[in-house]
Copies of this chain bind each other. A is one copy, B any other.
Amino acid sequence: MKIQLDKITAKEIIPGYMGKLIHGQKMSLVYWDVEKDAEVPEHAHENEQIMQVLEGEFEFTVDGSTAIYTAGELIVIPPNVLHKGRALTRCRLMDVFSPVREAYK
């Protein structure tokens, strides 16, 4: 039942975004290793999302409002709200989604 992050093989979900994925019944947890300058195009989804920066600097635009996030900073993105991002440096990010992020399976 124990999951070890260092034994999960990362998947490149978006170019430059290598994600280690953990799916439950109601949530998905993702640990991202992101290349500098890699971008997430603007998108929205039914899943609520909480994004946290663990390392690096990440420019994130949510509902038209842009800020730079660094380690220990996070944001709650309500369902169906447009957002996009760009790694200003190499980054480590964590996302949690509910319901499960089926598109990442």
Number of interface residues of A (CB under 8 A): 28
Give how many copies assemble into the complex: 2
Contacting residues, chain B, for A4 (C-beta < 8 A):
72-73
Is A9 positioned at the interface, with any CB of B under 8 Å from its CB? no
Rounded to whole Å, the gap between the CB of A99 and the closest CB of chain B is: 7
Contacting residues, chain B, for A72 (C-beta < 8 A):
4-6
New A-B contacts (10) at CB < 8 Å, excluding given A3-B74, A98-B99:
A1-B62, A1-B65, A1-B76, A2-B69, A2-B73, A2-B75, A22-B74, A24-B50, A25-B79, A96-B96
Q: Which residues of A contact B (CB under 8 A)?
A: 1-6, 22, 24-27, 29, 48, 50, 62, 65, 67, 69, 72-76, 78-79, 96, 98-99
